[in-house]
Amino acid sequence: MGNYFPRWTNWVPLKIAICLGFTVVGVVAAANYYFTPKYTRVGYEPTQPVPFSHKMHVGEIGLDCRYCHSFVEVAGHSNVPTNQTCYNCHGPDRGQIKKESAKLALVREANVSGEPIKWTKVHKAPDYVYFNHSVHVNRGVSCVSCHGQVNEMEVVKQAESQSMGWCLDCHRNPENNLRPLDQITNLNYKPEQLSREEFYRNLMTRGASLQSLGEEISSSKPNKNVANLEALVELAKNTYGPKVTQLEVGKQLKANWKIHATEDCSACHR
């Protein structure tokens, strides 16, 4: 019997094990780095040239988002306001609020020189992604779904990963994020606050039938009882509990507004 294997082969299994160990650590580290939301910058919170506080303006004073982001309902981009918008309140010749504040020096300077203020972009979609704000806010998706509780942010930060997977989560199940159109810019909205009766009445004035609304609540058992609004509300209460839930609102809106959130590539990539 010859000694077929040379001596050094005794160490091969150990070497392999060590290499494997390094590889595994490397893969885990890379996955951790690239596939966790850190890469997509949740929590990214750059300092802006003018310390504008959304918390104060929106949360405390109660400005509507659309006062400054005025084209969000008509254009793909949600515009950053012009200097004139700031000046409506803070201009020495206009609203005169805090007209001498040192924090607003840049705004005053820009007004004279015409040089725009260079805001730092927080939410960035890649160049090959065409996101359109108007179609979302006009069809029941609130600002808060993508941008978080901006009304509570002193400095705006990225609240969601805004990765493609995250987009698709909602496009596949839009009912988790739909809300009535008058609540789009209400960042504190909770479905529980809705009056169930009013919600269904509103849908019916927009042309929904009792039958279809009832079927959407429980399609499994045929509902002969849905003779009027009260019966419908009763049915919803039995199905979803005493308070209005997001799923209830979302499913009804999706069905009645024919929300079809496409998953086609060409929806976002052109």
Partner 1 sequence: MKRIWHHPEVKTERRYWRSLGEYSKTPEFAEKLGREFDPALSGMDGESRENSRRDFMKVMGGVAAMAGLASCRRPLEKILPFTKHVEWVIPGKALLYATAMPRPWGATPMVVTTFEGRPTHLQGNPLHASGGGLDIFAQASVLDLYNPDRVKEVSRKGDSVSWSAFQKELRGWNEKSWAKEAGAGLAILVSPGTSPSRAALLNDLLKAYPKASLYSYAPIQSKGEASAVKAILGDGVKLLPKYSAADRVFSLDCDFVGVDAASESGVRDFMKRRAPEKGSDEMNRLYILENRYTLTGGIADHRKPIAASLIPVAAAVLAEEVGKLVGDSALQQMAASLAAAADDKLRKWIAPAAADLFGSKGKSLVLAGARHSEAVHALVLAINQALGAIGSTVLVLKVDSPVTGEITELVADLKAKKVKQLFVLAETDPIYDAPGFAEALKESGAVSVTLAMRQNHTSRQSTWVVPAAHYLESWGDARTSLGAYSIVQPMIQPLFGGVSENDLLLALLSRKQLGPIEIKVAVAPVDPKAPPAAAVAPAAPLPVLSDPSYELVKQTFTKIAGGWDEEKWNLALRDGFLPGTAYEPATGTVDAALVQTLVAKAIKLSPPSKGVFEVVLTADSSVLDGRYIDNAWLQEAPDPITKLTWDNAAWLNPRQFNELGLKADGDKIKVTLAGKEPLVIPAIACPGHASDSVTIPLGYGQTVTSDVGNLRGFDAYALRSDIGELMLADAKIEKAEGTYLLAITQENYTMEGRAQVREGTKERFDLKPDFALTEGMDSHAPPVLSLYKGRTGKKSAENPTGFDYENEHQWGMVIDLSKCIGCSACIVACQSENNIAVVGKDQVAKGRVMQWIRMDRYFSTPDGVADSPSFDDLDNPEMVNQPVACQQCESAPCEAVCPVNATVHTEEGLNSMAYNRCIGTRYCANNCPYTARRFNFFDYNKRNPLIDTEVAGVSMNNLYAGPLGEKKPQEVVQLQKNPNVTVRMRGVIEKCTYCVQRIEEAKINQRRVARDDASKLRVLADGVKTACQASCPSEAIMFGDLANDKSTINSWKASPRNYQVLKYIGTEPRTSYLARIRNVNPKMPDDRTVKTGEASSRLNAF
- 105: contact with partner 1 by CB under 8 A: yes
Q: Is 93 in the site for partner 1 (CB under 8 A)?
A: yes
Q: Is 120 in the site for partner 1 (CB under 8 A)?
A: yes
Greatest CA span in the chain, whole angstroms? 103
Structure tokens at 160: 């969601």
Shortest Cβ 35–partner 1 spacing (Å): 14
Query: Which tokens sit at 233?
Result: 């509300």
- In whole angstroms, give the CA distance from residue 52 to residue 34: 32
Decide: residue 202, CB within 10 A, 0-12 exposed, 13-18 middle, 19+ buried.
middle
* Identity of the residue, 57 or 237, whose beta carbon is nearer to partner 1 in the bound complex: 57
Of residues 7 and 258, the one with the C-beta less far from partner 1: 258
Among 6, 43, 62, 114, binds partner 1 (CB under 8 A): 114
Residue 55 φ/ψ, nearest 5 degrees: -60, -45
Q: CB 34 → partner 1: shortest distance, Å?
A: 10
Q: Is 262 in the site for partner 1 (CB under 8 A)?
A: yes
Question: CB of 187 within 8 A of CB of 143?
Answer: yes
The position carrying tokens 């419908």 is 232
- Residues interacting with partner 1, by CB under 8 A? 41, 46, 71, 73-77, 79-84, 92-93, 100-102, 105-106, 108-121, 124, 126-128, 130, 132, 134-135, 138-140, 181, 206-207, 253, 256-258, 260, 262, 264-267, 269-270
